[in-house]
A = this chain, B = another copy of it.
Amino acid sequence: MSITYTERYGEVGASLSFDITEVLFSKRSPFQRVEVVQTAHFGKLLVIDGFVMLTERDEFVYHEMMSHVPLFVHPEPKRVLVIGGGDGGTVRECLRHSRIEHIDLVDIDELVSEACLEHIPAVAEGLKSPRVTCRYEDGVAFVEECREQYDIILVDSTDPISVGEGLFTESFYRNCFNLLGEKGILVAQSESPAWQSSVVKRINQKLKKIFPLVHFYQAFIPTYPSGFWTFCMASKGPHPLNDFREARYRKANLSFRYYNEELHRGAFALPTYVKELLNEI
User: Chain A: residues with CB nearer than 8 A to chain B?
Assistant: 4, 11-19, 39-42, 58, 61, 192, 194-195, 218, 220, 222, 226-228, 255-260, 262-263, 265-273, 275
Contact = CB atoms under 8 A, between A and B. Distances in A.
How many copies of this chain does the complex contain?
A: 2
A63 to B, nearest CB: 13
Contacts of A220: 194, 218, 220, 226-228, 271
A192 B222 CA distance: 10
A260 B267 contact: no
Contact of A272 (B58, B257, B275): B257
Contact of A259 (B16, B226, B272): B272
A258 B15 CA distance: 24
Contacts of A58: 194
Given A13-B41, A266-B268, 4 more contacts: A15-B16, A222-B226, A258-B272, A260-B271
Contacts of A11: 41
Contacts of A255: 272
A138 B13 CA distance: 37
A259 B269 CA distance: 10
25 contacts: A12-B42, A13-B39, A14-B18, A14-B42, A15-B16, A16-B17, A17-B17, A192-B222, A194-B222, A218-B220, A220-B220, A220-B226, A220-B271, A222-B226, A222-B227, A227-B228, A257-B271, A257-B272, A258-B272, A260-B269, A260-B275, A263-B272, A266-B269, A267-B269, A269-B269
